[in-house]
Amino acid sequence: MFVNFSTLRERYGQRHVPVSTIPYAANFGQEHKIETLEAYFSENEDFFEEVPNPLPTTTERDYVFDSEFLSDDEFVIPCANNDSHENDVIAYSWLLDELPNCSTIAALRKLDNAPLMKSLNDVYFRLLVETQGSEGQLWHQWYLGPRGSGAPLHYHCQAYNTLAQGEKLWVMIPPEHTGSDVDDGLAWGYSNRQPTTWLQSHIDDLTGHAGASVCVQQAGDTLFVPSYWSHLTVNLRPCLGFATEIYRDC
Ligand SMILES: O=C(O)CCC(=O)C(=O)O
């Protein structure tokens, strides 16, 4: 029901995307390039490997993390023609293989068996819908990355992250633990270092860190990131998915 790597390449190969070892690299004074998805896939053929190779430990892998290159219209179809008279939304429509009916309820019913739509539960949609119609702001992003790519430790307002394909490791640290027990508090709150590099020098600290949790997100899982929780990700398998930051009440 979701586009996979091959379909993505086929349909959107000529689309330009930002490519860098960490998301929004330019904001951190780091190198990034803009290239077509086709070029990116050609440089990272392991997206299509049947049996994954061991995780690279020395190479910092390039990640596509994109919020600028698609308009909101391409992410979200607002629908006002449902029975409840609420503004309904279908998020990330361009990533769906088959466009559901223009009603969240109908879409959920129709896609009842799809693990992804099950995970886009009522709470998610309600938050999106309420925020669309209020003073809050939604920030939609999508990502595509091979094994070993990921996002450095950082925090922001509450967010939902849905993994369409792949497997993603998360390290999460609540705000009350992001600075109290290490000399450099920032080490636990924010970093501009690629996560596999960062993990190599912090793995011992991390395993002894009282506040840190680790979990693995599987394809079809939607993960809620609470406001100001510091988090880091590493894609354990090639990943495709999307995230929405919700700037309301934080
Ligand atoms: O998906 C990722 O690699 C990072 C996403 C993230 O930081 C977020 O959803 O807040």
What is the model's pLDDT at position 86?
45
Instruction: Indicate the top mutation candidate among 196, 216, 225 to test ligand 1's pocket, ranked by most ligand atoms within 8 A of CB.
Output: 225
Task: Please report, in angstroms and rounded to a whole number, the separation of the first and last CA atoms in the chain.
Answer: 34
* List of E strands, 133-202: 137-145, 150-154, 159-173
pLDDT digits 0-9 by tens, 67-76: 765 555 555 5
What is the model's pLDDT at position 23?
94
What is the model's pLDDT at position 18?
93
| Ligand 1 atom nearest to 233, measured from its CA | 3
Output the furthest CA–CA distance in the chain (Å, rounded).
Answer: 56
Handedness of CA 63, 55, 165, 89 (dihedral sign): negative
In angstroms, the CA 16 to CA 13 distance is: 8
217 lines ligand 1 (CB under 6 A): no
For the chain, how big is the Rg over CA atoms in Å? 18
What is the model's pLDDT at position 62?
96
- The pTM for the full model equals 0.83
Cβ-based neighbours of 174, under 8 Å, separated by 6 or more: 211, 226, 229, 230
| Ligand 1 atom nearest to 63, measured from its CA | 3
What is the model's pLDDT at position 162?
84
159 lines ligand 1 (CB under 6 A): yes
Architecture category of domain 5-68+139-247 in CATH:
Sandwich (2.60)
In SS3 terms, 97-138 reads as CCCCCCCHHHHHHHCCCCHHHHHCCHHHHHHHHHHHCCCCEE
| Ligand 1 atom nearest to 243, measured from its CA | 9
User: CATH 2.60.120.650 region(s) of the chain?
Assistant: 5-68+139-247
Ligand 1, atom 10, residue with closest C-alpha:
159
Instruction: Indicate the top mutation candidate among 158, 231, 234 to test ligand 1's pocket, ranked by most ligand atoms within 8 A of CB.
Output: 231
Instruction: Indicate the top mutation candidate among 67, 124, 143 to test ligand 1's pocket, ranked by most ligand atoms within 8 A of CB.
Output: 143
Those residues of the chain that have pLDDT short of 70 are 1, 52-57, 68-93, 98-136, 179-187
Q: Measured between alpha carbons, how far is residue 41 from residues 8, 46, 63, 103 in Å?
A: 10, 9, 11, 34
243 lines ligand 1 (CB under 6 A): yes
225 lines ligand 1 (CB under 6 A): yes
The two structure tokens encoding residue 31: 């190198």
pLDDT digits 0-9 by tens, 231-242: 999 999 999 988
| Ligand 1 atom nearest to 154, measured from its CA | 7
